[in-house]
Amino acid sequence: MKKVIILILLAGLFSACSKVNNGNFGQPATSKDKTMLLALTSYYVNGTTGNDTNTGTSAAAALKTIQAALNKTTNGAGSTIFVAGGTYKERLTWPNSGASSTEPITLTNYNSGVVIIDGDNATNTAQNAMIAISSKSHIRIQSVRIANNIRSFASGIYMSGSGTDVQFTDCKLYNIGWTSNASSRPEPKDNANPFVIIGSTANSYNQIYIGSNEVYNCNTGYSEGLTIAGNVENFLIENNTIHDITNIGIDMTGNYAWTGAPANVNFARNGNVKYNKVYRCVSPIATSAGIYVDGAKWINIEGNTCYENSTGISAGCENDNNSTDGINIRSNFIYNNIEAGIIMGSNAANSKVINSTITNNTLFKNYSKTGWGGEIHLQNTDHLTIRNNIIQSASNIVIVASTNYNSTNLVFDYNNYFSASGSSNTVTFDWAGINGTTYGSFAAFKTATGLDTNSNYSTPSFVSASLPSPNLHLGSTSLCINRGLPSFVAQPGEFDIDKEARVRNGRVDIGADESAY
């Protein structure tokens, strides 16, 4: 469930494709080593000893506020703002772009101090964002904390417009919300965005890196923890921890007119979402995924660990007469989510998820709410391949293709199934959306549908299969080792759940873990 972000409320704060399925998009163009930054113009901020009448060019002559240091930067010139540890009650507006990827404008902490940009009784009260950025390029925000912004349409980092080469690393964003009462049930008007990037013009925001951040304890209402929307391309979201969000964790979206981007480029695209940990992202009123794609295109979702969300990972298309294209969900651990481990397909009548794959994932005991549901839930799809996955259900319902949806050109093969009974003769495949039939055994499903010809039913033999913290790596005796598609070839930049080679010993394993055995 997601909600439009009302740009008009923030308008006063701001001035104003190729198909790629693989590779590493949006990687940092330069080292983030702070020693490199020392060659640039440096400004210092100290909330205790500083004074905004100082030059700010040394620690001894530090400025008092971060905004004063940002205002001293020059558009098109590189500089670094070093902020001493402390709490800064400021709502910041980012005024300038850096010169290049080697001469950015950087905001960071000084001498590893803990810097908190705090919204409680902060300055610039008319601004909803703690850091507002509009159409700026070559900037870095690293090693700061953004907290305690509670108001309607609150946000932590809010970046819109167009630009290039922006990096956010090692930051913490928490207690950002439309209300401080976590038990409140939101209405559609109730929104907060801890971290949002919106490409809102005909020119894209591109080369975006979001790495090693933590976003948590945020009451987002109808919005999400980390949002990429509109004309945004070539991005990498990696090694982040997103948790305890009252809706979707990570969201990449398209086809929403409120972004302002022209329709032909109004969708996030060409991105990687890799090795993030996403958990307890649960809306009180609707299904919410840990990682969600809605109308975006050509995105790899790889090596993530998603658990205790409403659903683990989802790719859909909520806007009618559109498509979500080229989504690769691969080598993820997905377990103990409240509903399905993966939901794939559009719920809009004339939309589909097309040309996509679910490969080499490990799905383990999802649908924890119990009842008639399973590990993978299909809606409207076309040309979807589901291959080399371990799918172990907490019940005897392994796959669900939902009624009133349609999946065409569907491939299932080289998967390994296991269920509560330990017997393939009691496994139920609910295939109502395909041909109105429920199959009460694995053999009956294969015979009737022609799917999963080379798939097996066997215990995966994980290192540990105990919730709530299973170890889903393969034990040495697992029958999933060297049992995947024989002709499988890893794509450029494709690795297993541990960032290790996707193929060892001549043949790919089934599941997210590529064993050394």
Query: How far, CA to CA in Å, does 336 sit from each of 53, 440, 457, 478?
Result: 55, 24, 20, 21
Q: What is the pLDDT of residue 433?
A: 62
The 10s digit of each residue's pLDDT in 53-90 is 999 999 999 999 999 999 999 999 999 999 999 999 99
* Cβ contact 150:179 at 8 Å: yes
Q: What is the pLDDT of residue 438?
A: 86
The 10s digit of each residue's pLDDT in 206-265 is 999 999 999 999 999 999 999 999 999 999 999 999 999 999 999 999 999 999 999 999
CB atoms within 10 A of CB 136: 21
Q: What is the pLDDT of residue 435?
A: 62
* 217 token code pair: 């304890």
The 10s digit of each residue's pLDDT in 37-61 is 445 899 999 999 999 999 999 999 9
CB atoms within 10 A of CB 13: 17
Q: What is the pLDDT of residue 3?
A: 45
* Cβ contact 339:366 at 8 Å: yes
Q: CA-to-CA distance for 194 and 385, rounded, in angstroms?
A: 34
Q: What is the pLDDT of residue 432?
A: 66
Q: CA-to-CA distance for 175 and 479, rounded, in angstroms?
A: 45
Residues of the chain whose pLDDT is less than 50?
A: 3-38
**Cis before residue 188, ω within 30 degrees of 0?**
no
Three-state SS letters, 310-330: CEEEEEECCCCCCEEEEEEEE
* 230 token code pair: 């509109």
Q: What is the pLDDT of residue 110?
A: 98
Q: CA-to-CA distance for 34 and 16, rounded, in angstroms?
A: 32
User: Whole-model pTM?
Assistant: 0.92
